[in-house]
Amino acid sequence: MPTSAREPLLEISDLAAGYGKIGVLNGIDLTVGAGEVVALLGPNGAGKTTLLRAISGLLPWSGRVRFAGKELAGANPRDTVRAGLVHVIEGHRVFTQLTVFDNLLLAGYGLPRRRLMPQVEEALAFFPEIAAKRNDGAVTLSGGQQQMLAVAQGLVRRPRLLMLDEPSAGLSPVLVDRVLAAAGQLRDAGTAVLLVEQLIEKALLLADRVYALARGSIVLEAAGNEPDLPNRLERAYFGQVLTGEASPKARPAVPPT
């Protein structure tokens, strides 16, 4: 096992998870390096959201998850946030009756005062569009700006890994680019990003590496700039496993503990 400085920030082996007796994920192996953008792609119902939920402690899982050198077995969402792992959930809604600034303060609830203000400012600095509206009600933001606010809320805790579940859902192409560009800026600032995205082409432009999940298993792992990836991904989605690509593991579903 690598124990050097090159050990991944997040290292998942043989993870299984589901809902009660319903097994969804099986034999998942996935890593994210420090400061890396990794895209998690896959068709509807593949288990992408379920995987993020398991990692962040919202769902029980079996297998092994190491984050920043620590085992996450039994960790609840509060523990994972403390460890530096922040999950912006699918369809995250901001509090429209509060101001932009108060939404960010709320996201930093529990942080020591001396860290809260600078970290709120730091999060705002990623999104000049919403920084300009800091004292306005979040209700005045466009859909895209609300999505930026949701990402900024995740940033207030200065995560080492930010997990974004379809941050571009429902946005116009221009705003999609804007939200995804923020993920690139985060990488430049040293934050790792695990990005669930339906827009394959956009995700590939940004990601250092990609995983495709289909029917609860990883069916493809590749560098973001490998040739012919959109076609390979599409084939992987629909179950044609090709030579040289990871094959789905035929393990039985392990009931979550």
Ligand X SMILES: Nc1ncnc2c1ncn2[C@@H]1O[C@H](COP(=O)(O)OP(=O)(O)OP(=O)(O)O)[C@@H](O)[C@H]1O
> Would you tell me which residues interact with ligand X (CB under 6 A)?
19, 22, 24, 42, 44-50
Q: What are the tokens at 227?
A: 């040739």
Q: Which is nearer to ligand X, 23 or 159 (CB)?
A: 23
Q: What is the DSSP string of 198-221?
A: S-HHHHHHH-SEEEEEETTEEEEE
Inter-CA distances, 109 with 32, 115, 119, 120, Å: 27, 11, 12, 11
Q: Which is nearer to ligand X, 24 or 164 (CB)?
A: 24
The least distance separating ligand X from the CB of residue 15, rounded to whole angstroms, comes to: 13
The least distance separating Mg ion from the CB of residue 228, rounded to whole angstroms, comes to: 26
**Kind and range of the H or E run holding 185:** helix 173-188
Q: Which is nearer to Mg ion, 49 or 119 (CB)?
A: 49
The least distance separating ligand X from the CB of residue 44, rounded to whole angstroms, comes to: 4
- As beta bridge partners, residue 16 has 62
Based on the shown chain and the rule CB under 5 A, indicate whether residue 56 belongs to the binding site for Mg ion: no
Q: What are the tokens at 162?
A: 């930010």
Q: Which is nearer to ligand X, 24 or 229 (CB)?
A: 24
The least distance separating ligand X from the CB of residue 249, rounded to whole angstroms, comes to: 17
Chosen residue from 36, 47, 49, 159 binding Mg ion by CB under 5 A: 49
Collapsing DSSP to helix, strand or coil, 13 comes out as strand
Q: Give, as ranges, the residues between 60 and 99 that touch Mg ion (CB under 5 A).
A: 90
Residue 52 binding target from ligand X, Mg ion, none, CB below 5 to 8 Å by type: none
- As beta bridge partners, residue 150 has none
Spatial neighbors of 166 by CB under 8 A, at least 6 apart, are 90, 91, 196, 197, 198
Q: Is the dihedral of CA 159, 162, 163, 165 positive or negative?
A: positive
Contact between residue 224 and residue 204 where contact means Cβ atoms under 8 Å apart: yes
Residue 238 binding target from Mg ion, ligand X, none, CB below 5 to 8 Å by type: none
Q: Which is nearer to ligand X, 51 or 120 (CB)?
A: 51
The least distance separating ligand X from the CB of residue 45, rounded to whole angstroms, comes to: 4
Residues binding Mg ion (CB under 5 A): 48-49, 90
